[in-house]
Amino acid sequence: MESFIKLCKSNNLKITPQRSLIYKELVASKDHPNAEIMYKKVKKTFPAISFDTVYRTLLTFSKIGIADILALPGEPKRFDGNKKGHYHFRCIKCDNIIDINDSSNIIKIPDSISQKFDILDSKIIFEGICDKCKKVN
């Protein structure tokens, strides 16, 4: 929460109740909600908030590095508050997105590529069927 305040100040963003709340909800979210779902979440504790504010705030967060945007074909943007380097697994059945933490260094970028390009970020989404859906089948 303190780091949030610092980040806002260093980006000339004011600390508003709406922003603080959205921030808290975002980092607390283990799923990867889209703006619509975030809106419903924050509305519970802040009924007067507007959808636009939520959407705009999430976009702002992604600009200053608090949130990541997950773009998937055919569905609205999802937002991710977990900024530690990690990847995603998306179940094509239940549509949930599960974090995969990079404890084991999944990615090895060959020198031939890292010499040619400056790689700053990597967006990695595995797709398949999750453990729960495997059981249900």
Partner DNA sequence: GTAAGTGCAAAGGCTTTGCGCACGC
Partner DNA sequence: GCGTGCGCAAAGCCTTTGCACTTAC
Distance from first CA to last CA of the chain, Å, rounded? 42
43 binds, options DNA, a second copy, none, Cβ within 5 to 8 A by partner type: none
Q: What is the DSSP letter of 34?
A: B
- Establish if 12 lies at the interface with DNA (CB under 7 A): yes
Q: Taking the mean position of all CA atoms in its chain, how far away is CA 122? A: 14
Between 51 and 126, name the residue whose CB sits nearer to DNA: 51
Give the other-Cβ count within 10 Å of 106's Cβ: 13
Contact pattern for a second copy over residues 75 through 94, marking x by CB under 8 A: --x-----------x-xx--
Q: In angstroms, what is the C-alpha Rg of the chain?
A: 17
Interface with DNA by CB under 7 A: which residues? 8, 12-19, 34-36, 48-53, 55-57, 59-60, 74, 76-77
